[in-house]
Amino acid sequence: MTRAYKVYSIENGTVIDHIPTPLALKVISILGLGSEGIMTIGIGFNSRKHPYGKDILKIENRELSHDETNKIALIAPDATINIIKNGEVSEKRQITLPSEVRDILSCPNPNCATNMLGARKHFMLENKETVTYRCRYCERATVVNADMLSKK
């Protein structure tokens, strides 16, 4: 039996597709979109690209900036971004890893100033291929994973 999926179109906003399941909620956290407008979240769709499925996120009436969409690359480097205007795709965006990130990642070093003293979280890109970032304070280089995302 073929299962029918209902994914409604939006008139204006941003569509993020090809997010590996179950990371859609983490993407919302990265973007700080907790209670901002209407969002449609689809989790666990079949995907040829992602063997465990893909998630889709639609954010109505909000065009995300390039800086915002690039943050998604931290955990979903294969995600696609479509900007929708008047019901049509007006822009297809490629995402790239940001050269630095602030207040998104938590340092895994328990003795880091960000964990001990509450210093602002600040990481610099160390290696694009392995998605490794270096903490500005303790200088620990770490491969990014979804568990490193700061709790908003």
Any idea where the domains of the chain sit in the sequence?
13-93, 100-148
Q: Tell me how many degrees the CA angle 29-97-84 measures, rounded to the nearest 5.
A: 65
Name the CATH architecture for the domain at 13-93: 2-Layer Sandwich (3.30)
Q: Tell me the helices (H) and strands (E) count for the chain, helix number first.
A: 3, 9
Strand ordering across the sheet containing 100-102: 100-102, 122-127, 132-135, 141-143
Q: What is the pLDDT of residue 7?
A: 67
Selection from 77, 63, 13, 76 nearest residue 40 by Cα: 13
Spell out the CATH class of 100-148.
Answer: mainly beta
| Region of poorest pLDDT, from 31-35, 64-68, 99-103 | 31-35
- Altogether, the residues listed in the chain come to a count of 152
pTM of the predicted structure, to 2 decimals = 0.76
Q: 140: pLDDT confidence band, cut at 50, 70 and 90?
A: very high
